[in-house]
Amino acid sequence: MTGRKLLMTFPVTATSHLLADYRARGGYATLEKVLRQMRPEEVTKEVTTSGILGHGGAGFPAGRKWGVIKLNDGQPHYLCANADEGEPGTFKDRWILENAPHLLLESMLITAYALQVRNAFVYIRGEFDLPYRRLAAAVEEAYAAGWFGERILGTIFSCDIVIYRGAGSYVCGEASALITSIEGKKGYPRNRPPRLTVRGLYQQPTVINNVETLANVTGIVAHGAEAFRKVGTAKSPGTQLVSISGHVQRPGVYEVEYGYPLAKFIYEDCGGVLGGGKLKCIVPGGISTKVLTAAEIEPLTYDHASLAGAGSGVGSGGMVVIAEGTCMVRLLQILLRFYHHESCGQCTPCREGMGWMHRIIDRIVAGEGRPEDIEQLIRISKANDGTTICGMGDAAGYATVGIIAKYRDEFEYFIEHKRSRLDGRLEVAIP
Amino acid sequence: MIAFFINGQPVQAEDNQTVMQAAKANGFFIPYFCWHPQLSVPGNCRICMVEVETEAEGGGWLDIACNMPVTKGMRVLTDSDKVRARRKETLQFITLNHPVDCGICDKAGECTLQDYHYEYNGAPSISRDAKVHATKHFPLSERIVLDNERCILCSRCVRFTREISKSHALGVQSRGDHSLIRPVEDGAFEADPYSDNVVDICPVGALLSRQFLHKARVWYLKPTPSVCPGCERGCNVNIWHRKSEWKLKALDAKQNARIDRVTPLENPAVNGPWICNKGRDLARILERARAEQAMQKGRPVELQAAIDSARALIGTARQPVALVSSWGSNEELAAFHAALGQRFACYVKPDWLPVPGERLEDDLLIRPDKNPNRAAAGALFPALPADVQSAFPPDTDLVLVWGEGFSFAQLPPTARIIYLNSYLQPENGHADVFLPISAQTERAGHYTNFQGVVSGFEACFAKKPGVADAQALFAAIAAPAGGSKP
């Protein structure tokens, strides 16, 4: 077991995602309580007190984000659930969308009530098929049961929801690109300031939260912020859905309580490396976080402070396990190919830098690397750090610098001998 | 007003100004590609990074000046070591896939990228990899070709069509370093009457005017301030022509006295930094075949002889009528008014009428009256009535027609005609006296636009020997016999 659970509290069955099952689990009771007994600012206060951090990757406190929205300012506010889960190695929101869509919807209704939102949006990744069908069906059910629409439960609160399917762009998972996409434009991120909570979707104050962050709202409001704070660590309260994949014995989505020992999670709960191999390193939270070697993860616990102390981060909770024998040069090639493909092309450093790094790593893998190429990759990464409109340029830089810093000898070997020291393997044979 | 510091100097900014705007207003220069004072802020070129000093360890933080609101007391550095290093890196990125083919690029000499490279980088590219290739000559419209390899994707052209010309004709296709500027629909950009402005605002040589394509290096050219006579807006323009010290001896002499291109001359009171495509095509109006020979009933005569004849006709006429040009400058109109205004019954005629298919009017610049100086002419003389015949009393014996656009068939058959025109036209030979006058590019003067704004134009080329200046001509033909010469 990976600590206490907040979201994965029910057995997944063929009907567990349906409204009837959700009602049987106590679903929509919290919404009813909120609408009948709580004022919007009390809900926000509860979420702020809970100290829940954003689960999308940046780890920004959700309550601080909500607090920017001014109630009764005469402007329409918008709420958007970010279900554009595109970070490689991450598939945790998919679990919520597939198995607990009503939890998300109830949480969104509570959030909408707290922030005086009339129209809420779910921006769902275009490649998500089953999650989309489950969510769309849940929305139909919820509308039919009167949980959405005009005057919900006879109160003055009304809320409508729109599911918007993305078209397969990684950058559209970035909040400002996401709303630009909803507006029907090319998915380009926007410059800050203004923050999206000041001027977001259709130039109105907008709160965009990750699906998992929102899904926690119902539990926080139902059981109180104090109960939530008891789970996890002081600085990282709550749990994190971790999607673990790669060379691991039991891949899948696990709910991990913050503060849980990282090595124990990988070796015991997930069964260790595939085929009983040795662990080389892990990517702790989506490929945009820096890799951690097997030695480095030993003393760590799974929470923001501990991982940040090791120079990495919780990120989006997409953990990738990499076994001994994997060629890190090939691994970086795959990462850079991805970043090159997904760079939106709006701002200069990322547009040019991603392609440049991809060409360099392709050349190294083709056996035409030059000794100065390693420095070149680091230089491009650093030139992307903090200079781009969104965080994608930074993320690619972190990943590159992280891998090169820890496995520089493999790159040097590849350039010198024109072949991988590890036969260029990415797969691990199961004995 | 907000007080803050740029490079240690106290400056004032207006509320809601960005650091870029405040720096510009206070005379500090911050480089920029994508920012444009008339367009929205996309913040995508990242060259305008400035440092904001903080007390914190590690010095100030960098961000783009074009999107940075001025806050009270902030200390901005536009040229610190950090900023210079960052600019170098950014220029490395911008030139990474740029072909650097300045030698054959029309923009060379006035290219922002070229200037910044020499100013802020100067180093060759550190990349040894092949550049990304893209379309070299993509026809965006009949008028504009696009070189996608030179394009730095600043999106100025896209924003221009969305925010200024409102044709929404351009967009960005694909993503990453394969992004391409493309017309949104076929023909949409073709129909944009302001499309050529994107050539001016392109910071590199990606958008090229077909008219000017490989016509001249800009450093051989000189801009002369002028006014577009295309409509009553009177947009201020620069007429570019060859510098006198760079005459081409080997080529046709006409090459040395031709309009190479027309660009807007920024005047916030009239046209801002834009002009329409008709203004770009001024050569089509001003460089039509010129009339250089004075004539009497189609027979070539000396200019002085023609002037004498005109003067004699005016001296003896009993019922003379004059049709005044709405293309005359304020000075010429005043001279006409002083010399002949009392002698003639004067009417202002429209020299140009809208061409079929031409855009008549819009919210940006284009005005329905296609004559530049009807406002000044109309202040001095009445307009020609709609029923043209009513302007001519039955005993009209002399008509002076100044400027083109009037069919002699409308004149009383018995009247003698004095005709003043700059261009070769069939009417010239039918006039009793034809006097060739200088075109706009050969003289200086002023036009008053429909808003009452007076804009001046200067002479680009020397006047031909056989051609008269209208301003002096009026006094000469009005003077009693033996009077002053033009």
> Closest chain A residue to B94 measured between Cα atoms?
A348
Same domain, B277 and B339: no
Distance CA B272, CA B260 (A): 22
Q: How confident is the model at residue A373, as a pLDDT?
A: 96
Same domain, B236 and B183: yes
Same domain, B225 and B317: no
Distance of CA B347 to the CA centre of its chain: 30
Partner-chain residue, chosen from B64, B93, B130, that has the shortest CB–CB distance to A353:
B93
| Residue A425 in domain | no
| Residue A106 in domain | yes
Which CATH number goes with the domain that contains B438? 3.40.50.740
- Given A323, A352, A373, the domain boundary residue is A323
Residues in CB range of B479: below 8 A, 6 or more apart: B311, B339
Distance CA B31, CA B88 (A): 12
Same domain, B273 and B315: no
Q: How confident is the model at residue A186, as a pLDDT?
A: 92
Q: A38 — alpha (psi -120 to 50), left (phi > 0) or beta?
A: beta
Spell out which residues of chain A touch residue B126, defining contact as CB-CB under 8 Å: 376, 379
| Residue A292 in domain | yes
Q: B378 — alpha (psi -120 to 50), left (phi > 0) or beta?
A: alpha
Same domain, A338 and A318: no
Residues in CB range of A268: below 8 A, 6 or more apart: none
Same domain, B253 and B343: no
Same domain, A412 and A296: no
Same domain, B316 and B428: yes
Same domain, A318 and A371: no
| Residue B486 in domain | no
Same domain, A163 and A66: yes
| Residue A74 in domain | yes
Task: Residue B131: name the closest of B110, B112, B148, B114 by CA.
Answer: B148
Cis peptide before B139 (omega within 30 of 0): no
Q: Is B163 in the A-facing interface, judged by CB distances under 8 Å? A: no
Q: How many other CB atoms sit within 10 Å of the CB of residue B214?
A: 9
| Residue A41 in domain | yes
Please name the residues between 73 and 102 in chain B that touch chain A, using a CB distance below 8 Å.
86, 89-90, 92-94, 96-97
Band (pLDDT 50/70/90 cuts) for residue A430 is low
| Residue B102 in domain | no
| Residue A129 in domain | yes
Spell out which residues of chain A touch residue B69, defining contact as CB-CB under 8 Å: 193
Q: How confident is the model at residue A58, as a pLDDT?
A: 86
Same domain, A150 and A274: no
Instruction: Please give the full DSSP string across B222-238, using - where no structure is assigned.
Output: EEEEEE-TTSTT--EEE
Q: Do B42 and A191 touch (CB under 8 A)?
A: yes
Same domain, B371 and B239: no
Same domain, A317 and A370: no
Which CATH number goes with the domain that contains B77? 3.10.20.740
Q: For chain A, what is the domain count?
A: 3
Interface test with chain A among B50, B83, B88, B89, by most A beta carbons within 10 Å: B89
Nearest 10 degrees: Cα torsion B385, B386, B388, B393: -40
Spell out which residues of chain B touch residue A351, defining contact as CB-CB under 8 Å: 93, 153, 176-177, 179
- Across residues A89-100, what is the average pLDDT? 95
| Residue B116 in domain | no
Same domain, A265 and A214: no
Instruction: Please give the full DSSP string across B57-78, using - where no structure is assigned.
Output: TT--EEEEGGG-B--TT-EEES
Q: Do A345 and B175 touch (CB under 8 A)?
A: yes
Which CATH number goes with the domain that contains A318? 3.10.20.600
Same domain, A223 and A249: no
Q: To the nearest whole angstrom, how far is the Cα of B218 from the nearest Cα of chain A?
A: 28
> Closest chain B residue to A347 measured between Cα atoms?
B44
| Residue B48 in domain | yes
Q: How confident is the model at residue A426, as a pLDDT?
A: 76
Spell out which residues of chain A touch residue B129, defining contact as CB-CB under 8 Å: 356, 359-360, 363
Q: To the nearest whole angstrom, how far is the Cα of A367 from the nearest Cα of chain B?
A: 14
Q: Summarize pLDDT for A189-242 with one digit per residue, the tens.
A: 999 899 999 999 999 999 999 999 999 999 999 999 999 999 999 999 999 999
Partner-chain residue, chosen from B94, B153, B172, that has the shortest CB–CB distance to A186:
B172
- Using 70 as the pLDDT threshold, list the residues of chain B that sit under it: 251, 479-486
- Across residues A18-34, what is the average pLDDT? 95
- Given B62, B94, B126, the domain boundary residue is B94
Same domain, B249 and B392: no
Which CATH number goes with the domain that contains A164? 3.40.50.11540
| Residue A5 in domain | no
- Given A291, A323, A355, the domain boundary residue is A323
Same domain, B409 and B347: yes
Nearest 10 degrees: Cα torsion A328, A329, A335, A338: -150
> Closest chain B residue to A361 measured between Cα atoms?
B129
Single-letter code of the amino acid located at A285: G
Q: Is B62 in the A-facing interface, judged by CB distances under 8 Å? A: yes
Q: Do B176 and A354 touch (CB under 8 A)?
A: yes
Q: Is B125 in the A-facing interface, judged by CB distances under 8 Å? A: no
Q: Is B52 in the A-facing interface, judged by CB distances under 8 Å? A: no
Single-letter code of the amino acid located at B348: V
Q: Do B90 and A348 touch (CB under 8 A)?
A: yes
Band (pLDDT 50/70/90 cuts) for residue A429 is low
Band (pLDDT 50/70/90 cuts) for residue A115 is very high
Same domain, A106 and A217: yes
- Across residues A128-141, what is the average pLDDT? 97
- Across residues A24-33, what is the average pLDDT? 95
| Residue B104 in domain | no
Q: Summarize pLDDT for A311-328 with one digit per residue, the tens.
A: 999 999 999 999 998 999
> Closest chain A residue to B152 measured between Cα atoms?
A348
| Residue B282 in domain | yes
| Residue A1 in domain | no
| Residue B391 in domain | yes
Q: How confident is the model at residue A50, as a pLDDT?
A: 95
- Given A163, A196, A229, the domain boundary residue is A229
Q: Summarize pLDDT for B72-108 with one digit per residue, the tens.
A: 999 999 999 999 999 999 999 999 999 999 999 999 9
What number is the ipTM of this complex?
Answer: 0.91
Same domain, B325 and B452: yes
Domain that holds residue A127: 19-229
Interface test with chain B among A192, A340, A352, by most B beta carbons within 10 Å: A352
Same domain, A60 and A208: yes
Q: How confident is the model at residue A431, as a pLDDT?
A: 54
Q: For chain B, what is the domain count?
A: 3
Q: How confident is the model at residue B213, as a pLDDT?
A: 94
Same domain, A409 and A315: no
- Given a cut of 60, whether residue A335 has pLDDT beyond it is yes
Same domain, A191 and A73: yes
Same domain, B303 and B365: yes
Residues in CB range of A92: below 8 A, 6 or more apart: A55, A85, A212, A241, A242, A243, A253, A316, A317, A318
pTM, whole model, 2 decimals?
Answer: 0.93
Q: How confident is the model at residue B185, as a pLDDT?
A: 85
Same domain, B154 and B171: yes
| Residue B131 in domain | no
Spell out which residues of chain B touch residue A352, defining contact as CB-CB under 8 Å: 93-94, 96-97, 177
Single-letter code of the amino acid located at B194: Y
Q: Do A191 and B41 touch (CB under 8 A)?
A: yes
Spell out which residues of chain B touch residue A356, defining contact as CB-CB under 8 Å: 93, 96, 127, 129
Q: Is B384 in the A-facing interface, judged by CB distances under 8 Å? A: no
Q: Is B40 in the A-facing interface, judged by CB distances under 8 Å? A: no
Distance CA B264, CA B203 (A): 16
Q: How confident is the model at residue A275, as a pLDDT?
A: 86
Distance CA B158, CA B94 (A): 19
Beta strand residue intervals within A150-195, DSSP E: 160-165
Domain that holds residue B231: 138-286
